[in-house]
Structure 1
Amino acid sequence: MNVKQDNLPSERFTDDQINAVIRNAIENGARRYIQGCESRVDDFVRWHYSFQGSLGIHAHAVGWDVIRVPINIIWSLVNIILAFVGMLAGLARLKKLRAWINQIPPGLETDMDRQISWLVVTELLQLPHEHGGKRSEHDALMEEIVKDPSLRLLLDKKLDAFVALSKQPDFEKRLKAKLGEYGATRTASADLAGNAVLLVTSKIATGQAAFGTLGAGTAASAALAHSIAASNFWLGSAIGSYYYALVPVAVSLRLLIAVTALIAVVLALISTFIGILTDPLQAKLGIHQRRLRKLIAAVKDDLLGAESNFELREKYIGRLFDLIDVLTTVGRKM
């Protein structure tokens, strides 16, 4: 609805006209704002997901993130189960159960997640944000809204109404949830890359491809037990190697746990920092750009009052490796 100005002072607008002016200003300003965000995606990816930019982001992972990242990787397995239960709850119309599941966080927030959120909110979305003693007051959305000429006639006397209508309820909460989803996808991508490295190295080292920590730990502990048994064989290690090629060596539970735990620690370190290499590759392939544009589209839906659904299904791909790893390991034991 467009309101004719006719050079009338704001007092001569009716309440309906005032609300229409404010809503039009918000909707038109939000659309211009979203266009501005979309125009910044390529530059944002070029600045922060190049090798040098990714190196700067991953510098924030030095510290407690080395503990948080493996916990998030393990927790993501639980998230798959919760997502499946949530889907069943939706089909069964158990709204309270589904709402409760949706409120469960995707994992621990890492220092690297906080840095990425700071960059996304302050540079890409250009919204006010506070983090770690830093605060940005720049509000590109408000700047676009107040450009509306009809709104300028109302600002002096109707500012309170304008502020109430321009701030969407729970917008900040929904934005934080979307940033959490974006961070969970980055964790899954790093985990997937780490599993790919493990798959190749396990094949080279043990001759047996492992899709995850359990498979790699089983294969490595078996190879180590074989090596120890052969070296201690009473007729010498050469004959021992042939002997134990025919006679399986029993792997102790202690050795299996120790080797698997060591591989898990190494894999966690790789997954934490492998983004330094994979971020530039994903930027080159346009993966980062696609995710950020999905995020902006979801923010647009929130601003315009439409139903938004921001779920990046890439986060489940890494979990497929873990499921395959468990099934493969169990299959070899049967």
Structure 2
Amino acid sequence: MTKKITQQEIQDLAVEAIHKYFEACRARVPAFVQQHYRYPGAWRTNRRALGLDLLRAPINLFWAPVFGVLSVVRIGLQLLRWQRAAALLGRVPEGFNTQVQHYLGLCIRRDLMRLDCDSDSLEAHITRKLSARFGDAHPDPQEQQAFFHRAAAIVHEALQEYRVTRTASSDITNTITSTLVGAAAFQKFTPGGIGIGFLIAALVARYQAEHDFFLGKTLGRFYYQLFPPTPSWQLTAAALTLVLVLLACFASFSGLVTDPIQARLGLHRVRLQKMLSHLERDISAQTASSFRPKDQYVARILDLFDAVKSHLS
């Protein structure tokens, strides 16, 4: 008499196979970081930004604060168990998928997780484990396909979150760049593009006022040192837009500098290891992706600080 296969046996073996698969993925992380985030791989990764990404990057960085707020609201809705509203917010796009993000997503699937490899994929690990234990009596192929379909959705969501970290890293790079530019060029503390935009607007307004001063430019310079003119909202908006767009264009290929630094500091390794750990847990439990990197929230805090600092200056 053939022993009946219990659902618990199948689940236990599947979890073992999932654990073995992700152990293999984690072992590939150092080589993946070396290949794609250090030179010469960093150039192969980031050279894709020198094209339409120069248009996508500014839009992504302008949209990122809005998406960050919506992400916080979505987490709050999930905690309140308002799943339908949270699911609707989950459909909001994080921005345009840049060529660099698309390339890294493909590389993670191909080189790190090997999802398309017949021998090393998650599906192959689970199928081998079940076949070794139950032979031809392992679960119905349709049930397996349903499981792998759910797993693919979890992976897709996690990779979306990982792509958001690229925009967040660019935003943090902008903050650092703005601070350095402000200190070097203006001897001011400008923790972001907003600070530099307000500063440039003030300088342009003062320059125009000095030239238009009724007693001449020289006396105008002394007068407006004591009583700085207030820039118009049109000038301020134009300066802010120009600075933020230029910074965004710079940030679109700033990975040429920041990726090797993050690789050296171990940040890429930690981020990928954390993503894989979340995926292992979520796929084993068949729950929604729990991978929520903190980069975008750090970037939003810096943006808020920049806005408050600029308003108070």
TM > 0.5 between the two?
Answer: yes
> What residue number does 2:15 align with?
27
Deviations 1:114-133 (A, max 9, x none): 100000011000002xxxxx
Q: Of 36, 41, 44, which residue of structure 1 is paired with 2:32?
A: 44
8 Å CA contact retained: 1:210, 1:216? yes
> What residue number does 2:258 align with?
278
Task: Look up the SS of the partner of 1:294 in the other structure.
Answer: helix
Q: Letter of the aligned partner of 2:144 in structure 1?
A: L
Change in 2 beyond 3 A, CA 1:14/1:248: same
> What residue number does 1:161 align with?
140
- Rounded to whole Å, the distance in 2 between the matches of 1:24 and 1:251 is 67
Which one has the largest radius of gyration? 1
> What residue number does 2:197 align with?
217
Deviations 1:142-199 (A, max 9, x none): 3333443x724755x4477156336334221221111010110121011101111112
Change in 2 beyond 3 A, CA 1:146/1:89: closer
- Rounded to whole Å, the distance in 2 between the matches of 1:106 and 1:271 is 17
Change in 2 beyond 3 A, CA 1:68/1:262: same
**Unaligned runs of at least 5 residues, structure 2:** none
- Rounded to whole Å, the distance in 2 between the matches of 1:108 and 1:25 is 40
- Rounded to whole Å, the distance in 2 between the matches of 1:88 and 1:209 is 34
1:16 maps onto 2:5 in alignment:
yes
> What residue number does 2:241 align with?
261
> What residue number does 2:274 align with?
294
- Rounded to whole Å, the distance in 2 between the matches of 1:90 and 1:108 is 25
Question: What is the number of residues matched between the two proteins?
Answer: 311
1:196 maps onto 2:185 in alignment:
no
Task: Look up the SS of the partner of 1:168 in the other structure.
Answer: helix
8 Å CA contact retained: 2:42, 2:255? yes
Q: Of 39, 51, 60, which residue of structure 2 is paired with 1:72?
A: 60
> What residue number does 2:224 align with?
244
8 Å CA contact retained: 2:154, 2:283? no
**CA displacement at 1:257 relative to structure 2:** 2.4
- Rounded to whole Å, the distance in 2 between the matches of 1:93 and 1:163 is 31
1:177 maps onto 2:157 in alignment:
yes
1:59 maps onto 2:43 in alignment:
no
Q: Of 287, 300, 307, which residue of structure 2 is paired with 1:319?
A: 300
Change in 2 beyond 3 A, CA 1:303/1:248: closer
- Rounded to whole Å, the distance in 2 between the matches of 1:325 and 1:295 is 30
1:83 maps onto 2:71 in alignment:
yes
- Rounded to whole Å, the distance in 1 between the matches of 2:38 and 2:233 is 44
8 Å CA contact retained: 1:212, 1:325? yes
TM-score, with structure 2 as normaliser: 0.88
Task: Look up the SS of the partner of 1:107 in the other structure.
Answer: coil
- Rounded to whole Å, the distance in 2 between the matches of 1:153 and 1:274 is 50
